[in-house]
Amino acid sequence: MGRAKQSFRDSFHHHQKMRRQPTIATVAEHAGVAVSTVSRYLNGHYVSHSAKQRIARVIDKLGYTRSSTARNLSLGRTGCIGVVVDSTLDPWFVQLLAGIEEELSTRDTSLMLASLELRGHYDANLVLQWIREKRVDGLILAKTQKRERSLLHAATDAKIPTVTVAPDEAVEHVRVVRCNNIAGGAAVADHLIDLGHRRVAFLGGPEHSIDSKNRLRGLKNRLEHLGVPMDPSLIFSCNSWEAEAGMEFGRTLLAKPLLITALVTANDALALGFMRIAQQRNIRIPQTLSVVGFNNVPEGAIVWPGLTTVSQPMREMGRAACRKLFETLSTAEHQGVMEYATELIVRESTGPAAQP
């Protein structure tokens, strides 16, 4: 009877042991290798072929899954990245975020999100806190501008890898993902010239914006090349990218006789705001005035007339920004530029130039 009881206890403890979540030490014991060998295998480093086969069999048999928390601790990481934008309500950013989320779904990493204008005024304290406390392994900043210099310097000083997407000014010591806005502006010029337009105006975003400057540069240079120089008095700018700024511009421009046949705006929000006022003033689009935007936000395909626009592959740019951040974590290469092509999406807001 004593032997039977002892055998039962041994069997019970064996099954209890097997029911516990296996550890890296358990895998090493069953595979007959050192814990360090299993660690090298899990991290993708060199392990002999025979050891690799034994470890793989044991992992499959025991159902071992690696703790992402333990892995991050071993690498000195938090397992989290930070994503920063002016406002998460921006339709442009929503597409970017979808790409970031897609890429993160394939990795053991979570995301922290911050709006710099969450309460209607600029506040970078939350992001600075992330940096000071090293709560994130890296940062993705969308549409950085002059006011974000302190954030970029703080991240650089703290050795936190950073990627900027479509920065509004030149940045150093970070990776950049952007579009070829000059080519986008040139494509708009070709389209408008093909439609017979000769009096073209441009409405830019904030004057410091690199994107806005390059879109104008591409448009202006191509028009000049085609023999249709832009009138400097028809180049305008706003201090905002929001639709309200486009509406305000519309009220000003349309209070006077209309001297143009086409308006190009530096983003879709400005175009949609302007179109609302134009339609209130009974300006027929595109019969009287053609309108072109940039960014290809979803609303542009829903309104009538649909907005002709220059599309940026924001979802792919989000995935790329995420990949570049992980590359930086692995290689410590903190600089470099990835530039994407743009595409002209022609809808109903552009048509043949109105005859004088």
- Judgement on whether residues 82 and 62 belong to the same structural domain of the protein: no
In a domain, 93, yes or no: yes
In a domain, 163, yes or no: yes
CATH code assigned at 194:
3.40.50.2300
Predicted pLDDT of residue 73: 39
Predicted pLDDT of residue 76: 44
Q: Spell 272-297 as b/e; 16+ CB within 10 A means b.
A: bbbbebbeeeebebbeebbbbbbbbb
- Our count of domains for the chain comes to 3
Predicted pLDDT of residue 257: 92
Q: For residues 126 and 345, is the Cβ–Cβ distance under 8 A?
A: no
In a domain, 276, yes or no: yes
CATH code assigned at 30:
1.10.260.40
Predicted pLDDT of residue 12: 41
Task: Give 10-residue mean pLDDT values along the chain (356 residues).
Answer: 52 48 80 80 72 84 63 54 87 89 82 86 89 90 87 88 86 85 97 97 91 96 96 93 94 93 96 96 95 94 96 92 84 76 96 85
DSSP 185-213: HHHHHHHHHHTT---EEEEES-TT-HHHH
- Judgement on whether residues 203 and 255 belong to the same structural domain of the protein: yes
Provide the H-helix boundaries in 105-227: 125-132, 149-157, 181-194, 210-225
Predicted pLDDT of residue 3: 55
Instruction: Report yes or no on whether pTM surpasses 0.75.
Output: no
- Judgement on whether residues 201 and 122 belong to the same structural domain of the protein: no
Q: For residues 335 and 174, is the Cβ–Cβ distance under 8 A?
A: yes
Predicted pLDDT of residue 319: 92
Predicted pLDDT of residue 332: 62
| Cβ contacts of 293 within 8 Å, gap of 6 or more | 265, 267, 268, 269, 270, 271, 272, 300, 307, 308, 309, 310
Predicted pLDDT of residue 89: 81
**Cα 44 from Cα 278, distance rounded (Å):** 60
- Judgement on whether residues 291 and 226 belong to the same structural domain of the protein: yes
In a domain, 218, yes or no: yes
In a domain, 355, yes or no: no
In a domain, 334, yes or no: no
In a domain, 143, yes or no: yes
CB atoms within 10 A of CB 301: 12
Q: For residues 115 and 125, is the Cβ–Cβ distance under 8 A?
A: no
**Which residues constitute the domain of residue 51?**
2-66
Element containing residue 232 per DSSP (H, E):
none
